[in-house]
Structure formats: C-alpha cells, structure tokens
Structure 1
Amino acid sequence: MSDRPKLSIRSNSKMNFMILITATIAAGLSQGMLLPVLSILLEQKGVSSSLNGLNAAALYIGSFGMTLIAERVLGAIGFKKLIAGGISLVLVSLLLFPFFPGIKIWFVLRLLVGVGDAAINYAAQLWVLLMTPAEHRGRNLSLYGMSYGLGFSLGPLGISLLRFGQATPFIVLAFLFLLVLILAITMLPDSRPDKVESGESQVRRFGRCYSLAWFALIPALLYGFMEASLNSNFPVYGLRIGYSTDQIAALLPFAGIGGLLLQFPLGLWSDRFGRKKVLILTGIVGGIAFALLPLAGDHFKVTMVLLMIAGGLVGSFFSLGLSLAADILPRHLLPAANVVASFHFSIGSIIGPGIGGLLMQAGWGGGIFGLMGALYIAFGLLGLFFSPRQKI
C-alpha cells in the first residue's frame, strides 16, 4: 500500500485538527439550537407532543440515511469535499426555515440538516481517529467530543434570540456556518482515507466490528438517544411543569457544561485506567442521576445539578466508545466501525424524541428520564461481562 494517503491525512495535523474542531462545534450548534427552538415553536402552535417528537426525529432520519452511504461517499470525494458539502447543506436549510414555517416543510428541512451534520461528523471524527496515535486517542477524541458538546450546549441559547423575531436564531447560525465553510474550503487539504484492501465486503466488515467490539459500539446508541431526547423532550416537559422558556434555555446547557468539564479528564483517565472501566462507572452513576430528574420537579437548582452530573458523566460516551473500538479493532476496520457508531447514534436519536413524546402524551412526563437512567445502568452492568479480544 502506498504511504501517500497516510501522509496526506497526518500532514499539518494540528491545523487540520483545529479546523475539524471548528466544524464540529458548528454541527453541534445546529442540532443543539434546532431541537429546542423548533420544539418550542411547535408547542406554541398547539402541535401534540407525540407529533412534535416525531418531527424532531426527522433530523436524525437524515443522519441515518447519510450514514448508510458515508463510507462510500468519503472514499469517492475525500474529507474536504464531504465536510464542505455538509456545511453548505446545513447553511442553505437554516436560511429556509423562517420562510417556510409549515410542519411538513420543517420535516424535510430537518432531514437535510441531518444529512449535512452527519457528513460533517462522520468525516471529522474519522479524520481525527486516523491522525491520532493510540497513546493519545482518549485525549484527542475527548477534545473532539468536547467541541461537539460545546456547540450542542450553546445551541439552546438560541431560544433567547426568539425575542428578536422567529427568524433571528436561524440567520445568526447560518452566518456562523458561512464563516466555517470559508475556513474549510481555504484551509483543509484535499485528502482521503486509506483504501480498504482486505478483500472483505462491507457487510462482513460490519459483522466483524460487532463480533469484536459490540460493547464499544453501544455507547453511540445511548448517547444519541440521550442527546435527542433531552433537547427535544425537555423543553416540552419543562413548559408543562411550569418552567418558562428562559428557564429552559438556561437549564439545557448544563448537561453540556457537565460534559465539557468532564470530557477531557475522562479521556485522560481512559488512557490511563482503561476505557471499559470508565464507561462502566460513568454509565451507572450517570444513569442514577437521570433517573432522579423527575423527582426534582420544578426545583430549578436541583434540576440544574442533576443535569450537570448526568450530562457530565455520559457526555463522553460517543468518544469513549469509539476510542475503545479503535483499541480493539484492526486499523482497516476503523472506517466501518465509524459507520456503525454513526448508525447507532442516528438510530438512538430517531427513537428517543418519539418515545419521549409518547410517554408525555400518555401522562408520564418524566418517564423518558427514568428510561434513560435504566438504559445507562443496564449498559454499565453489561460491561462486566465484556472481555475484548486481541486485535487480529
């Protein structure tokens, strides 16, 4: 195999890494803003909570669709074009939201945003994974996760921009995406991942990823479920138990703030003590914090602390899970593992808001948090039975 693809991926890696971080922050911003802002606007229009949740899932249906073809598209056009294409798609969609306020058109626009965000995230996280040596994998992927968490945490602040008009959050975010697009086009090299020469079909590579690293791939599913449920269902849940929109806008970022505070330490600890141990501990304790959320009721400070603890502990799940998969799997399976992780994230994100909406419509408003808590605790206990095999 030629060394040229590897060199192109690693060359000027610090600059590439910073640009990838910037693009990932933008992707986090788009999802973190759109989920609560659109949920609140639909709730104010009288849309039912179940339909509201299903509409929110459109973003992740788009992500899911992109995930199915991401590996092939990346191999055909390379990292730079895939990232720039994703940014452009989100930028155009953001500008269209205020001009077409119908729920059906919003569903389509959310699909397109999901496709664009998935393109950005898939290319960025795989590029970071390939350019990072094993001894710094937890650290660098935690920084990548922090960048997405930062964007996602700041996104709900867009709720406060609604006082200046419903179009304001979308226009502000579109302008930021334009700046990131210019940066990506002018600064990123036109590089591609190594070609797969193992002779294995895509389906067989996915199967091997599951057989060798199934435990490491579950965190992406749980993270997607948690993230989408929290930002889509919590605004509706909060309004119904008496929180104002300003209080909701203030509370939601605390889950991300907790993730930002603990993401880097957890990455370092996973490098030192083992990623499996860190995942088990954070899953169990984070699950307990989520399960306690309904008991907080409308007590602002208690809810804030619980969101910060829960978000802080499980906010690293995607990056830690992907790092564990990279520890276990041979290098030629990493692109396939990245697809599977993105696939799981999209599935969790699709079903999360819908389940939460149905639980609220059935009268169990806090049920989504109890369910999340149970899932994270079960995952932690499941880790006690996982023994990773050696790379082959």
Structure 2
Amino acid sequence: MSAQVIAMILAPLLGLFIVSIGNGFLSSLTTLRLDTAGASETVIGLVSSAYFIGLTLGAVFHDRLIARIGHIRAYSSFASLITVSVLLQGMYFDVWFWFALRLLYGWAAIGVFLVIESWLLLASDPKMRGRILALYMIALYGSGMLGQIALGTVDAWGEGAPYMAAAILASLSVLPIVILPKVTPVVERVEALKPLDLLRMTPSGVIGCFGSGIAIAAIYALLPLYLQRTGRDISEVGTMMASVILGAMVLQYPVGRWSDRQDRRIVLITIGIACVLLSAFVITLPQSSPFLIVVFFLLGGAIFAIYPVAVSFAADSTSADALVRMIQGLLLINSLGSAISPLIISPVMAVMGPVGLFWALSVLNILMVGFFIWRRGARPESTPAAPFAPATPYSPIGAELRVTDEMIQGAIENDNTDAIHVVLPEQETAKQ
C-alpha cells in the first residue's frame, strides 16, 4: 500500500476509531443505567431500538445530504449532533427523552459511517478495497472492544463522566478529518433492490441478513442487561462484551474462508447450530464458570459471521451489474431486523428473566437453520462464485467497498455470459 493511499485513508480511519470508542461503551452504558434506574425489560428494549431505528432512517436518506453539503461539513455536523445527544443524555434522565436522544444518536452515527465509507471508497483502487475494508473493520471492532474494556474505568470517574468522555471523543474525531491531507469524495445515489425482489432472488440471503440483524442488535442492546442482572459489576460487563467483539473480529475471516470451500448454506446451518449450542451452554453453565468468557467469545464469532456469509451467498447468484444494489438492499433488511430486535426479545426477558435472551437466540437460530435446510433441499448446491470478503453492516456505501474485482468476475463467470457490461463507480465518474 503506497504512502499516498495511506495518507488518503488515515484521516477517516482515525476519525472512525476515535468516535467508535465512545459508541462502544455508550451502547452498553445506556442499557445498564436504564436497568439501574428500575426500567423494565420492555422499556429498555424500546430505548435500545431507537438507536437502530435511527441507523435505518439515516442509511436511507443521508447520501443526499452529504452530496449537497460535502463530506467535511457533513461529518462535522453529524459529530456535533452525536456530542449534543450524548451530553443531553447525561444531563437529564427520562425514558422518552432518552428514546429521542438515542434515535438522534443513531441518525447521526450512520451519517458518520457513511462519510467514512465513501471516503475510503474513493481513496481505494478496486484491487485494494479488500485490504482497505480489512483496515476499516480492524478500526471499527478494535475501537468497540477498547470502549467496552474502558467501560468500568470511565464509569468510576463519576455518574456524568462517561457521557462527557463520549462527547469529547466525538468532538475530537473531527480533527483528523479537517486537519490531515484529504480528498472530497463524490456520493452517487444507487437505489437498493426492494425486499420482495430480493426475497425472490435469494431467500436464504434475506433470511440470513434479517436474522443476523436481530441477533447482533440483541447482543449490543440486551447482553449488558443480562450480564448486570446475573450479578456482574460494570467492569465485568465491559470485559464480557469485549470478549464478544473480539470473537467477532478474530473468527469472521476463518469462517468466511471456510465458506469459500463449502456450500455457504452448509456454513450457515453449521453456524446456526453452533449459536444454539453456545446459547444452551450459557443457560446451563454456572454464572461463576470461567468458561463463560470463552463461550461468549465463540458466540460473538458465530453471530457476527452470519451476515457476511449470507451476503456472500446472495452475491454468488447475482449478476455483476446488480451486486451493489443487492448488497444495499440486504443491508436495509439487516437494519430492519436490528430495529425490531430489542422490541421482540425484551418482552421474552421480562417473562423468563435474563436467561430469556439466550432462549430467544436459540429459537431464532433454530428457525434459521430449519429454513436453510429446507432451501438447500429445494435448490441444488451452489458453488461460491467469488472469494469471501468480510462485511460489517453499517451503511449503503459500504456495499461498494465490498464489491471487489474478484466478486464482479465471479458474478460474470457464474452468469456464463459475455453480455454483461460492468461500469465501475470510477469509470462512471470519469465519463461525467
């Protein structure tokens, strides 16, 4: 990777790393503070869902805003909104007030991710996008893990300290964007494929992405509640959450490479069975067991691997000219799953207690496994058309980062036709 490319991608990666540290511990802290204040599981789920609703709404509309005002101004605006929402959350507690603030936070956070991903997209040659996406994921997961580890330390500084720390980090994240060498990316709006069209094209991809959204949101929003309700202090909650994110970062790549050599539905079935077994271990193991942290590590790796494997499976049967639109559509389906997740799982926890989270994850994965087995019987085994690429569901621009030359070539070969003409974003821009 040349020094010029490093200089172009350093600013957005630093900005992402800084702001995501605060995002990492704030998501868990919101759940823990609501529980400490005596909020019910349903109320906690409602407030938690607001963040994911904000993400979904922003993913649909923000590209127009960024195209109109530019990336630097847009990033500064979104970071300012994050700062304001976090400080207001620390100043005054009210459930509906916090719901509105978390909605605003999610709406602004997806804008930050959209700016960063489009910046990286412009800075990258198509042949380098895999490496740049890997750096993006390292920055994202690494900062999230660091934020969880710091949760106990920051909370010990005082009741309002975590909110001030998250606000400071959001403000500081603007500095690399405005000071370091930079480019001004151009965002081109691409309409995602509609859910019904996607369901006809790739039923397994849709169900995998939707179920993944439910499971990942449950981990972020409700696992801290489970951990606190089972007697762990805030430092232990942060450590356990960090082990989940570490598992997601470490295991995603080997699982993905395995899916390149195997029918991806077999991989999805195996991951689903693993999630059921690991959830059962959490239910049955004593809370004092030292093996729990290992179980959470493996569970994080399994749950976070469902989305990229499902996207890769969908891409195997999609034409080259529809890849970006298809991945964007799957992203929105994943976001919808995330938005409803706390709303449907928190009532289960209210009835069954904290362990209801893992009963819900077990049922979810059993349903997905059953669907994948049925679809595999209804449709012959497919051969992976392109190498697996790690994927983190955040914004529609990230879909273009994941569409590499290898994926396009694999789609063309899978179509077995020379009639497809592929226009890369760089080529389209050059024409204009």
So what's the TM-score if we normalise by structure 1?
A: 0.80
Q: How does 1:213-232 map to 2 (within 5 A)?
A: 213-232=202-221
Map 1:228-247 → 2, pairs under 5 A: 228-247=217-236
Partner of 2:325: 336
Q: Report if the CA contact (8 A) 1:66-1:115 is conserved.
A: yes
Unmatched segments (≥5 aa) in structure 2 = 385-410, 421-432
Q: Does the aligned pair in 2 maintain the 1:286–1:373 contact within 8 Å? A: yes
Q: Which moved more, 1:208-217 or 1:123-132?
A: 123-132
**Is 1:44 paired with 2:36?**
yes
**CA-CA distance at 1:372 after TM superposition:** 1.6
Identity of aligned residues (%): 23
Does the CA-based 8 Å contact 1:24-1:148 persist in structure 2? yes
Q: Which has the larger radius of gyration?
A: 2
Aligned partners of 2:251 and 2:302 also within 8 Å: yes
Output the CA distance in 2 between the equivalents of 1:119 and 1:273.
Answer: 36
Q: Match for residue 282 of structure 2?
A: 293
Does structure 1 conserve the Cα–Cα contact (< 8 Å) formed by 2:244 and 2:298?
A: yes
Aligned-partner residue type, residue 52 of structure 2: Y
Q: Work out whether 1:168 is the aligned partner of 2:157.
A: no
- Structure with more helix by fraction: 1
Q: Tell me the distance in 1 between the aligned counterparts of 2:19 and 2:76.
A: 12
Counterpart Cα distance in 2 of 1:155 and 1:222: 26
Q: How does 1:65-214 map to 2 (within 5 A)?
A: 65-77=57-69, 80-125=72-117, 140-156=132-148, 157-186=150-179, 187-194=181-188, 202=191, 208-214=197-203
> Would the alpha carbon gap of residues 330 and 265 (structure 1) be closer, same or farther in structure 2, given more than 3 Å must change?
same
Aligned-partner Cα distance in 1 for 2:36–2:111: 32
| 2:292 pairs with 1:303 | yes
Three-state SS of the structure 2 residue aligned to 1:301 is: coil
1:237–1:365 contact (8 Å) kept in structure 2: yes
Aligned residue identity for 1:177: A
**Aligned counterparts of 1:15 and 1:279: Cα–Cα separation in 2:** 38
Moved more, 113-122 or 264-273: 264-273
Give the equivalent residue in structure 2 for 1:55: 47
RMSD over aligned Cα atoms: 3.5
What is the Cα deviation at residue 44 of structure 1? 1.6
Cα distance, 1:73–1:284 mapped onto 2, change above 3 Å: farther
2:346 corresponds to which of 344, 347, 357: 357
Contact 1:142 1:316 in 2 (8 A): no
Alignment partners' CA distance in 1, 2:345 and 2:302: 21
Number of residues of Structure 1 aligned to a counterpart in Structure 2: 378
1:112 CA drift (Å) = 1.0
Do the aligned partners of residues 224 and 127 (structure 1) sit closer, same or farther apart at CA in structure 2, a change above 3 Å counting?
A: farther
| Farther-moved stretch of structure 1 (30-39 vs 370-379) | 370-379
Task: Name the SS of the counterpart of 1:243 in structure 2.
Answer: coil
- C-alpha distance 243-204 of structure 1, shift in aligned 2 (>3 A): closer
Alpha-carbon offset, residue 102 of structure 1: 2.4
How far, CA to CA, are the matches of 2:282 and 2:244 in structure 1? 12
1:325 is displaced (CA, Å) by 4.9
Q: 1:292 to 1:135 in 2, by over 3 A?
A: farther
- The C-alpha deviation readout for 1:315-347, integer Å capped at 9, x for no partner, is 234444445555654565455345434423332
Amino acid at match of 2:221: S
Find the residue that maps to 1:298 and give its secondary structure. Answer: coil
Shift in CA distance, 71/110, structure 1 to aligned 2, threshold 3 Å: same
Three-state SS of the structure 2 residue aligned to 1:178 is helix
Q: Following TM superposition, by how much is the alpha carbon of 1:304 offset from its aligned partner in structure 2, in angstroms?
A: 0.9
Q: Kindly provide the CA deviation profile for residues 159-188 of structure 1, in whole angstroms up to 9, marking residues without a partner as x.
A: 432221122112222222222212123344
Q: Deviations over 1:51-105 (max 9, x none)?
A: 1221111111211221232344455455555444433321222222222222222
**Aligned partner letter, 1:224:** G
- Partner AA of 2:342 in structure 1: P
2:241 matches 1:252: yes
Question: What residue number does 1:4 align with?
Answer: none
Taking the aligned partners of 1:213 and 1:127, their CA distance within structure 2 comes to 30
Distance 1:219 1:130 in 2: 29
Alpha-carbon separation, structure 2, partners of 1:179 and 1:323: 36
Contact 2:192 2:328 in 1 (8 A): no
- Indicate how the Cα distance of structure 1 residues 304 and 203 shifts in structure 2: closer, same or farther if over 3 A, else same: closer
Asked if 2 retains the 8 angstrom alpha-carbon contact of 1:59 and 1:113, the reply is yes
Look up the SS of the partner of 1:185 in the other structure.
Answer: helix
Q: Determine helix, strand or coil for the equivalent of 2:42.
A: helix
